[in-house]
């Protein structure tokens, strides 16, 4: 007997997301995932000055603006045949790295941990940590108040099994409070080179408008030390604690099994070697990324424009009432194949033989620590672990960039905008592979297309009817209680969906 | 049932006064406000329309009042799509319960797709419909960020969804709930915190003709600019990274009303102009409005062409 469960909206992700699952015999048989908000950035960009693009496209998303800005200026640098100043590249790396850490910490603690932590247990806290005492007193007062939503925004919640161990809950809650400070610290570090965050002011083709000074480098380094402590002593152990308490989540949430990374973070300015290398893992075989293989279907998407187009030829014509369409996302495909992108994809692609040996040994060590097999990484917990592990690598790399940067040397190389030209910028956002394509004519943007991480992960069915990777990852998932389908949201949130990005 | 002592309230209120630029004489009144708020009497409902969540993310960067303090000591954040634990049907029911109880402050982030209602939905309901229901029962509405306040990028020229600002939409729907605008892309956390807390205790803050709190939006960026002396001496930056006034790179500081020049971002670490980036007028009424109005660059591109 089949039953349909709709979870709309899915909260604690960025943006407007709805999922619908058909459950048969207690397990998901079919899943549909829908983006529910459209703005039309690609149409709004047409006819604008090309240099507006990095400002406009950053506003696609308040969580990953820096990465959109980076994709945009790299697309322009290709179109302008421009090599950015080395110091500018290093400052941009630091800025992007800071945003990655802000995003990962926000995702695990603010967005995901409430699915695992028993927040109500704080009422039983008898310890003396001032922050937890204050939280306990607040929760108790809220629960006995006449507030319409007592304990909001932390309550209400699904009735489900949460962490049972009291101390583990208190530790995670304490770290939730610290995570708020740590994510703001990461943003402060980014703002040293961004001017402000979210929405970096300083990103320009050719480098960055901000200077690199000894003081700025020191300020960044100081923040890095604090973040390193948090990652090592809180974030990684907390992920391990959740993994040990919920081992079943190593066996659910398995995606399509194909992984893609465009590669990100050159280990030094001008270096072709990336901290997280590029590559496609298709049917278990590693291959280089071929940009020409990227297309977007719109058969299940609310657009009347052409389907199966490459980004340079891409179009975005809204058709909100299109028959058979159920999402505002397009369905990107690589050689017609579904791909998973994100920290797990970066880790799996990057740890293949011949890529980054340090990543390979870190993955081995993590699996050993957790007592798991490599295949278990393709799971809810594998994605959380990949995100935390990635932070550690980023911090160590930041320290190297700080050493490489030369105070007071130029951060910007001048350029002129050609009458016509085109280029693409491929980078990685916290959530995965991000590409922008710009086509300039008469000094203006003729066409602009973005193919965004969550567009890959939250993709609806393509023109052949093949579901996207999250849709696939939900199939087979046991759902114990249709009124409280926490299993489904745990799976979906493990991908860290960003819907403002995905639809744009 | 408050859990704080008088002294903590005074400390928080002192911070608040600093944020708002208020005289110290306001501190006792604000302390009283904090006490009142801690009793759970200040529900806040936060809805997102066509937004990027950047204003929410910016608020989480707040220092004057930390996010934890805000949630546990100042307001009852009854629903926020990015932070609330509740999800799915339970979230829809929670929001509906809040709306039927009424009397909350409604904070709206994002524009309204007036010309294409399906371009933004919440639990299957068009955002515009939800906004009408929520605004009618609110004590006051705060349109946070430039999308909600002025339409922003979703409402820019050539936009396909007929997106409009929150005050425009409410006016068209004949809803007269008092509405305050705190534009900015994103909104500076102080602008929102200062406005919310003022509203809760002291009532409507003094507003300008567009509905913006005067405390934050009455001066031009240019007038308090750290590079103002360069402007006076006609020392102009010719390209990015140069010293001097950024006016000739297209800086919109001379037409943008925000206090960024004296209220830097991310706990005071930096600001756009300080970092060599011309102001793009992200808090201004015309931000990104017209395709032909480049931010930085039209002059540069034109110079290069010539």
| CB-based contact, B96 to chain A, within 8 Å | no
The answer to whether B143 and B180 are in contact (CB under 8 A) is yes
Mean pLDDT, residues B169-178 taken together: 97
Q: Is the predicted pLDDT of residue B275 greater than 90, yes or no? A: yes
- Interchain contact B87–A (C-beta under 8 A): yes
Strand partners, A436: A425, A450
Determine phi and psi for A452, rounding to 5 degrees: -115, 150
Q: Does A181 touch chain B (CB under 8 A)?
A: yes
Label residue B101 by pLDDT band (50, 70, 90). very high
pLDDT at B28: 52
CA–CA distance, A210 with A204 (Å, rounded to integer): 10
The CA radius of gyration of chain B, in Å to the nearest whole number, is 20
- Give the whole-angstrom CA distance, residue A52 versus residue A419: 16
* Element counts in chain B: helices (H) and strands (E): 12, 9
pLDDT in the model for residue B42: 82
| pLDDT tens sequence across A247-266 | 999 999 999 999 999 999 99
pLDDT grade for B14, boundaries at 50, 70 and 90: low
* pLDDT tens string A171-203: 999 999 999 999 999 999 999 999 999 999 999
Count residue pairs from A and B with Cβ separation < 8 A.
Answer: 326
B298 φ, ψ to 5°? -55, -45
Asked whether the predicted pLDDT for residue B8 surpasses 90, the reply is no
- Judged by CB atoms closer than 8 Å, whether chains meet at A55 and B280 is answered as yes
> Distance between CA A302 and CA B217 in Å, rounded?
40
- Which value does ipTM take for this structure? 0.97
Q: How confident is the model over B35-74, as pLDDT tens digits? A: 444 444 689 999 999 999 999 999 999 998 999 999 988 8
The whole-angstrom separation of Cα A337 and Cα A346 is 18
The CATH superfamily holding the domain A2-144+168-503 is: Cytochrome-c3 Hydrogenase, chain B (1.10.645.10)
pTM metric for this prediction: 0.95
Position B73 scores a pLDDT of 87
Q: Do A63 and B116 touch (CB under 8 A)?
A: no
Choice between B28 and A363, residue whose per-residue pLDDT is larger: A363
Least confident of A163-167, A252-256, A257-261, B16-20: B16-20
Task: Name the one residue in this structure whose structure tokens are 């490459």.
Answer: A310
What is the least distance, in Å, from the CA of A198 to any CA of chain B? Answer: 6
Which pLDDT tens digit goes with each residue over B116-126? 999 999 999 99
Section A300-322 average pLDDT:
97
Show residues of chain A in contact with B264, CB under 8 Å. 196
The whole-chain average pLDDT of chain A stands at: 97
Q: Is the confidence at residue B299, as pLDDT, over 50?
A: no
By the 8 A CB rule, do A493 and A115 touch? Answer: yes
| CA neighbor of A116 nearest in space, from A397, A494, A369 | A494
B118 interaction partners in chain A (CB closer than 8 Å)? 302, 320-321
Most confident of A3-7, B246-250, B290-294: A3-7
Q: What is the DSSP string of A479-495?
A: -S-TTS-HHHHHHHHHT
Q: Is B185 a catalytic residue?
A: yes
Rounded distance between C-alpha atoms, residue B84 and residue A155, angstroms:
7
Residues 6+ apart with CB under 8 A from A158: A484, A485, A486, A489, B87, B90
Q: Is pLDDT at A282 greater than 60 in this prediction?
A: yes
Q: Which of B17, B120, B187, B282 is catalytic?
A: B282
Closest CA to A248 of A157, A386, A119, A372: A372
Domains of chain B, first to last: 6-216 (3.40.50.700), 219-306 (4.10.480.10)
CB-based burial label for B3 (10 Å; 0-12, 13-18, 19+): middle
pLDDT at A484: 97
* Model confidence band, residue B3 (pLDDT cutoffs 50, 70, 90): very low
Half-sphere CA count of A252, side-chain side, radius 13 A: 22
Reference B282, options A500, A200, A190; nearest CA is A200
Q: Is B222 annotated as catalytic?
A: yes
Return the domain boundaries, chain A: 2-144+168-503
The predicted model gives A272-288 an average pLDDT of 97
User: What is the rounded CA–CA span in Å between residue B290 and residue B306?
Assistant: 23
Please tell me which of the candidates A9, A15, A134 has its beta carbon nearest to residue B91.
Answer: A9
pLDDT in tens, B181-214: 999 999 999 999 999 989 988 889 999 999 999 9
Q: pLDDT at residue B34 above 90?
A: no
Residue B187 catalytic? no
Element (H, E) at B219: none
The per-residue pLDDT for A265 is 98
Structure tokens at A128: 């003396």
Can you give the pLDDT at residue A420? Answer: 95
- Residue range A70-95: average pLDDT? 98
């Amino acid at each position: 007997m089949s039953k349909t469960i709709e979870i709309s909206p899915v909260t604690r992700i960025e943006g407007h997301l709805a999922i619908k699952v058909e459950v048969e015999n207690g397990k998901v048989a079919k899943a549909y995932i829908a983006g529910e908000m459209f703005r039309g950035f690609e149409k709004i960009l047409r006819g604008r000055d090309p240099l507006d693009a990095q400002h406009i496209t950053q506003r696609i998303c308040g969580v990953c603006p820096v990465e959109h800005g980076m994709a945009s200026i790299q697309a322009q640098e290709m179109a302008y045949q421009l090599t950015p100043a080395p110091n500018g590249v290093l400052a941009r790396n630091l800025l992007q790295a800071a945003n990655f850490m802000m995003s990962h910490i926000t995702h695990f603690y603010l967005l995901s941990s409430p699915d695992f932590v028993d927040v109500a247990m704080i009422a039983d806290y008898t310890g003396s940590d001032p922050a937890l005492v204050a939280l306990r007193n607040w929760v108790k007062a809220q629960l006995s108040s006449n507030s319409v939503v007592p304990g909001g925004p932390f309550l209400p919640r699904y009735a489900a099994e949460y962490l049972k161990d009291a101390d583990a809950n208190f530790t995670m809650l304490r770290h939730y409070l610290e995570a708020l400070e740590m994510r703001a610290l990461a943003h402060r570090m980014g703002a040293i080179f961004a001017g402000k965050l979210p929405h970096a002011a300083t990103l320009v083709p050719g480098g960055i408008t901000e200077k690199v000074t000894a003081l700025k480098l020191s300020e960044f380094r100081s923040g890095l030390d604090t973040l390193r402590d948090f990652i090592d002593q809180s974030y990684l152990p907390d992920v391990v604690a959740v993994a040990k308490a919920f081992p079943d989540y190593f066996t659910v949430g398995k995606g399509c099994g194909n992984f893609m990374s465009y590669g990100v973070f050159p280990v030094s300015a001008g270096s072709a070697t990336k901290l997280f290398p590029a590559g496609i893992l298709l049917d278990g075989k590693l291959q280089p990324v071929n940009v020409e293989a990227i297309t977007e279907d719109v058969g299940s998407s609310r657009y009347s424009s052409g389907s199966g187009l490459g980004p340079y030829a891409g179009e975005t014509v809204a058709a909100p009432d299109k028959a058979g369409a159920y999402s505002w996302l397009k369905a990107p495909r690589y050689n017609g194949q579904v791909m998973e992108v994100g920290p797990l994809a970066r880790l799996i692609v990057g740890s293949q033989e011949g890529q980054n040996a340090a990543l390979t040994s870190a993955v081995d060590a993590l699996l050993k620590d957790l007592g798991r097999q490599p295949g278990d990484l393709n799971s809810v917990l594998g994605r959380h672990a990949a995100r935390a592990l990635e932070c550690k690598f980023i911090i160590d790399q930041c320290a190297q960039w700080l050493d490489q940067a030369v105070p007071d040397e130029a951060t910007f190389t001048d350029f002129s905008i050609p009458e016509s030209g085109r280029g693409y910028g491929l980078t990685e956002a916290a959530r995965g592979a991000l590409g922008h394509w710009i086509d300039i004519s008469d000094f203006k943007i003729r066409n602009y297309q973005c193919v965004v991480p969550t567009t890959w992960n939250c993709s609806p069915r393509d023109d052949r009817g093949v579901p996207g990777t999250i849709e696939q990852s939900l199939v087979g998932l046991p759902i114990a209680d249709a009124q409280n389908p926490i299993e489904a949201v745990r799976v979906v949130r493990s991908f860290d969906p960003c819907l403002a990005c995905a639809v744009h | 049932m408050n859990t704080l002592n008088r002294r903590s309230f005074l400390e928080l209120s002192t911070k608040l006064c600093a944020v708002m630029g208020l005289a110290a004489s306001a501190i006792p009144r604000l302390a009283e406000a904090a006490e009142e708020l801690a009793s759970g009497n200040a529900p806040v409902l936060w809805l997102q329309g066509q937004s990027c969540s950047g204003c929410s993310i910016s608020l989480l960067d707040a220092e004057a009042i930390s996010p934890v303090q805000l949630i546990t000591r100042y307001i009852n954040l009854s629903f926020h799509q990015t932070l609330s634990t509740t999800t799915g049907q339970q979230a829809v029911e929670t929001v509906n319960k809040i709306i039927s109880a009424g009397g909350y402050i409604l904070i709206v982030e994002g524009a309204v797709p007036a010309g294409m209602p399906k371009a933004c939905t919440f639990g299957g309901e068009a955002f515009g419909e939800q906004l009408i229901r929520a605004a009618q029962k609110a004590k006051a509405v705060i349109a946070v960020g430039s999308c909600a306040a002025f339409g922003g990028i979703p409402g820019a020229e050539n936009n396909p969804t007929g997106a409009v600002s929150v005050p425009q939409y409410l006016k068209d729907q004949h809803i007269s709930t008092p509405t305050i605008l705190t534009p900015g892309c994103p909104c500076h956390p102080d602008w929102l915190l200062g406005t919310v807390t003022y509203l809760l205790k002291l009532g409507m803050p003094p507003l300008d003709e567009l509905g913006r709190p005067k405390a934050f939006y009455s001066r031009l960026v240019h007038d308090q600019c750290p590079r103002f002396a360069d402007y006076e001496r006609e020392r102009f930056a010719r390209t990015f990274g140069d010293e001097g006034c950024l006016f000739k790179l297209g800086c919109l500081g001379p037409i943008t009303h925000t206090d960024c020049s004296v209220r830097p971002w991310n706990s005071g670490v930096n600001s756009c102009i300080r970092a060599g980036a011309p102001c793009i007028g992200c808090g201004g009424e015309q931000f990104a409005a017209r395709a032909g109005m480049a931010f930085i660059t039209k002059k540069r591109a034109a110079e290069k062409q010539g």
